[in-house]
Every structure is written in structure tokens, then in C-alpha cells.
A and B are shown apart, each in its own frame.
Chain A
Amino acid sequence: MTTAIERTDALSSSQSLQDMLTLPWKHPTIVAGVPWKNPVGTASGTFNVEACSRFYDVAQMGAVSTKGVSIIPWEGNPTPRTAETPAGTVNSVGLQNPGLDHYLANDLPMLKRMGANVITNVAGHSDEDYIQVVERLADKPCDMLEINVSCPNVSHGGMSVGTDAKALHHLIGALRNITDKPMIVKLSPNVTDIVGIAKAAVDAGADALSLINTLVGMRINTTTGRPILANITGGVSGPCIFPIALSFVWRVRRALPDIPIIGIGGISNGDNALEYLYAGANAVEVGAAALLDPIAPLRIARELDDLLDARPELAEKLAEGRTW
């Protein structure tokens, strides 16, 4: 069976894994003062160092954004947590994570030992939760923070902060007071005025923005008439959200010409990543594609690196951390 949709070919790169892991990178970027060896990072929640480092050298990525970490361990949502949807997936993990102590004892030291550029993605149910995590990370070796105010799958905190400009301004201002680390704020698409939200984050001291997190969605099993996800709704990601996410990045870039932006959503190849750069992103993160192939983020980074050869102006801007 063939469809009109272009195949997301996991093996489209002609490069061998050997080359992907060893060739020098030609087109670096800078995000909020932090050098990335290429403009492609892994997105939070779809990267786990123990799982992924069995397949590739995670230090080859521009950066890796780790799973949302909370001050204490979170159990997450009941199962089933995933449902397929055309050209995408709906998930409701509910930010299950083993907590900050575990992260500091295991994931972070392992990543730094491997030489990765680490973005620590921070989760919380309340301002106080976020503050405690960010405070404890102040002197830890993570390179950047990504404040997740956009998870649609937790009942308190998460997206409720990221959809309210005032609440967001308050939280980011409080975090700015306690950390000098480059701070990315990860935005939700589940809002009517993305520019207003983005401005609130930047006014309060965000060093960069990443967008988008998942869109709220659901699927129903028509045999039972019941929702497939135990949590009923989840977050939609994958190629089906690509054009939506791209337009969010473009709208924020048009309104805020100077803030570093990381584009996220539905990237499955180097050309998709390039579209984000043209829309005004300084870098991208790859999420759901990594669920289809562990080395997808690395392959996409290699494809983009080659595509940038023919676009020297864009590559030069990237290298200087400049935007549009």
C-alpha cells in the first residue's frame, strides 16, 4: 500500500553509522551563548542516556534535552499511555521521572562523562517545585535549563503556567533571580496568543525559547467506545504536527527578532530541520522521530549539516548565533 504521504525513511541517509559518529561537524551554532556542535538536539521525553547511548555517541548531538525532572520522583499516569494517530502519536506519560536526586546521581554525571552538551528539562506542579529544582541545579554541570511549562499531561503546574502570561512571567522572574544558567522556556501550543506568552517569558528573563510542546489530543477505540489512553487525553507529536509547530516558531520569530529559538515538532529529516531554520529557529530538537529509530536525531543532524553546505549565508548566521 502506498500513500500520498512521503515516507519517513529511517535509512534515507547514505552515511554509514561509522561516518555519522566520526566525521567532523561543519556547521555549528550558538544558543543563548552556549556553543552547539550542530543545530540539532534531542527533545525532552524522547531521550534517555542509558537507552540511547547504546546506539550512538550522544556527545555528537548539538545538545541533549533530558526527561522533565521534578524535585521528588513522579509516578506518572496510568497505562495505556500511548495511541497511534496518522503520521504521529498521542502520549500521556504524565512526566514520570525518578526525581532530581536520581538525575544528579546518574543521568547528569553519565552525560557529562560522555561529553554531551546537556539541557536539563525541569518539571514542577507549583512555582515552589520549579524553584527548588532550579536552585539545586545552580552549581551542577548541566549546560542549559529548559523550563517545561507546557506539559499537557499533568493536572497541576505544567501547561497551566505556560498558558497564562501573568503566571508565566511570575515563575520565570522568580527563576531568573536564582540562576545564572542559560534558561530556555519551553512553550505550549495550546494557547490563543503564543506571541503574548513568548513576550512574557522573555520579559521575565528567559534567555531562549523552545517550541512547541505537544498539542492536546485523544483517540477513541470504536470497538469499546472508550478512550484509548487511560488519561483520556494526551499530547500529539510526530510529523502530523510539523506545519503547525513551524508556524508557531515563525510567529514568535516575527514578533521577537532577537531571542534565540529552538524549533520543535514533527522533524523527521534534515530538510524539516532546515525549514525551522528558515522560519527563524537557531536550532531544533527532535522528539517522536527518536521513537521510530534511536539514531534518528543523529541522522537528522548529519543531513542538516550536509544541506547547510549549499546555504553559506544561513550557516554563517547560525555560527554566530544570529537570527533572522
Chain B
Amino acid sequence: MSTQFIPTQIKQRHTGPAKGSHDASDICRCHEPSEGIVVNGESYLPARRSVPIVSVRQLDQGVIELVICDRYMAEHARPAQFANLFTHDGLRLMPRPFGICEICGDEVSFIFAIVGAGTAQFAQMKAGDSIDVLGPLGKTFDLTSPDARYILVGGGLGVPPLIQAAQYLHDSGRENRTTAIFGYRKHHFADSIVGQYSDDVRSIDEEQGNVITVLDSMDAELRQISDPVVILSCGPTPMMKAVAFWASSRGIATQFNLEERMGCGYGTCVVCVVDTIHGRKKVCLEGPVFTAQELGWESER
């Protein structure tokens, strides 16, 4: 199955108020939007660029939401695509790829955990600061099936692309077609965010069980549904493999958003590869979305 996504017409783009500080809209207004250009009949994507930060806030201990203003990314990003973010630190040059989370007007949000010095620097940034970005990058979830029920299974910091999928389906008039199953360590930090776009949020934390516990509890319900069911998943690899096994034994289609350690993020360096039934693929360019079948995960526990 191809994961190349054919965009459907978006009926209504979420245009709520900017979620950042009061002057967020000013930050956005002052910024000259980046654009791809056409030279001699050839069109080129915008490369790395400096964009304003609209807000930075803590969602949970060590979990940060960072919102930038970039019209190009806001207009072109689709679920499961990601962007490279760069520190201002001359010692930490390499891109940090993050899944695109919410899109509101010209604003794009990311959610990440502070895992090292680079992400700690992002967390210290303030509204009005600038940040270098490249993107959107990568392929997208295949959301072309008009009557499918989408189950979004996320673990930990794997939730942003699923939030974007929920938003995309919501904005294209399919809000009643999603169920979000998010597994957290402790605090359910993304429930209120995904809840804006999905009216069926069934999250769980480690004390209560895991995402498979929730899937098991839906078993009977899912058997009743006549529409095709598609699971979109992103999170730790052991979780995704468990989801693949659970789904394939029930004949449910799955799409996984992989997170491999990347070099360039745009397909040039061959650092972030994954073994598929079609050979080694670049996660950043040929992914990050792959099916359980492509990954050979259908029979793995």
C-alpha cells in the first residue's frame, strides 16, 4: 500500500484564536511568510528559515509545547509530517526532527520531552524569539478512505502526529470517525488537546494499564462496526509492535509513524533507515509512515 497521501479538500480549517500569549498574532503579522519559489519553470521548496516563536509552555513535567509561526508549514503540513528544528547553539548543530502537532492559522505546534541539552534550549526559548526550521518533511498517513474509522494509538511523546491526524479529520468533516487511545506514563497531558478534534478520547496511564488494555476493551465494539477500521500509531517501538500484532490478528489495517535517529531529515544522508519487505528504506523520505505489512511486524510479538 502506498502511503503517498492525496489531499482531500479541507472543508474548514481550524481558525481559533492564537493559543500563545496575547501578542501572538502580532508576532505572526510581523513575520514575512516563507514561500517556495519558481525559477525557469522549476519550483523549489523553501529551505531552512528563521521563524518567530509564538509561545512555549510546559504541558507536564519535562514536556513542552512550542508554537511557531510559519505560513508555509501551516498551509502545507499534513498528518505524520515532521519538521527539523535547530538550536542557536554553535556546538549543537544537528537538526531535531519533531512531528507536526496542531495547526491554527499560520501557527504550528510541536510537543516534545526535554531529553538533552538541545531540547532544554528549545524549552528556554520565549515568545518573540526566532527559531530555524525546515519542513514540512516526510510522507503522511493515508487518510483517503472516506468511510474509515480511525483509531489513533499513541504512546508518550508519539502523540503529536496523531493529534494532527485528529485535527485533519476533524477539519475535513470526519470528527466522529476518530478514537484517540493515548498511553501515558502518568499525567494525561494531551487529552485536552486531542479532545478539541476527537469526541472519543480513551487514554490510559501506567497505573491503569497500557494501550493494548484499551484496545482489548474495544474488541467487541470494533467487531460491530461495518466501516473499515484503520489504526494509526506512533510511540515506542515495543508498543507499536504490540499494536501491529494485536491488529493483524484481527485483520485490522495499521499505519505506523516511525521515529528513527535522523541525520538530515530530507532524504540525502541515508542515516535513518528501517528494514522493510521492500528492502532498507529511508524513514525521513520514504516514511515516516509504514504499514505493519511493510515492516514485517504482523506476526511479531
Contact = CB atoms under 8 A, between A and B. Distances in A.
Contact of A290 (B45, B132, B264): B264
Do most interface residues of chain A lie in helix, strand or loop, or is the interface mixed? loop
Contacts of A52: 268
B268 A91 contact: no
A81 B267 contact: no
Nearest to B87: A1
Interface in B4-49: 37, 39-40, 42, 44-49
Interface stretch (B91-99, B184-192, B203-211): B91-99
A56 interface: yes
B278 to A, nearest CB: 12
Contact of B93 (A46, A47, A239, A294): A239
A17 B271 contact: no
B263 interface: yes
Nearest to A97: B270
B94 A292 contact: yes
Interface stretch (A7-15, A122-130, A180-188): A7-15
Given A46-B269, A47-B268, A76-B280, A294 B134 contact: yes
Interface in B80-114: 86, 88-95
B93 A93 contact: no
B273 interface: yes
A88 interface: yes
Interface string A1-24: 111011110110000011001100
B247 interface: no
Interface of B: 37, 39-40, 42, 44-50, 86, 88-95, 118, 121, 124, 132, 134, 260-264, 266-274, 280, 285
Given A81-B270, A239-B93, 14 more contacts: A1-B121, A5-B90, A5-B91, A18-B37, A48-B268, A50-B285, A52-B268, A79-B274, A82-B272, A84-B118, A93-B271, A291-B95, A291-B263, A291-B268
A291 B266 CA distance: 8
B93 A89 contact: yes
Chain A interface size range? 35 or more
Contacts of A17: 37, 44, 46-47
A295 B132 CA distance: 14
B246 to A, nearest CB: 25
A55 interface: yes
A50 B37 CA distance: 18
Contacts of A238: 93
A288 B274 CA distance: 22
Contacts of A46: 264, 268-269
A84 B115 CA distance: 14
A225 interface: no
Contact of A82 (B93, B267, B271, B285): B271
A7 B264 contact: no
Given A21-B39, A57-B42, A292 B270 contact: no
A11 B49 contact: yes
A89 B271 CA distance: 12
Contacts of B46: 17
Given A17-B37, A91-B263, A292-B93, A76 B50 contact: no
A76 B91 contact: no
A34 to B, nearest CB: 24
Contact of A56 (B47, B86, B121): B47
27 contacts: A1-B88, A3-B89, A3-B91, A7-B90, A17-B37, A17-B44, A18-B39, A21-B44, A45-B269, A51-B285, A54-B44, A55-B47, A56-B44, A57-B44, A79-B273, A80-B260, A81-B263, A82-B262, A84-B93, A84-B94, A87-B90, A93-B269, A93-B270, A288-B93, A292-B94, A294-B266, A294-B268
Contacts of B270: 45, 48, 67, 76, 81, 93, 96-97
Interface in A191-243: 238-239
B44 A55 contact: yes
Given A67-B270, A82-B261, A96-B273, A293 B47 contact: yes
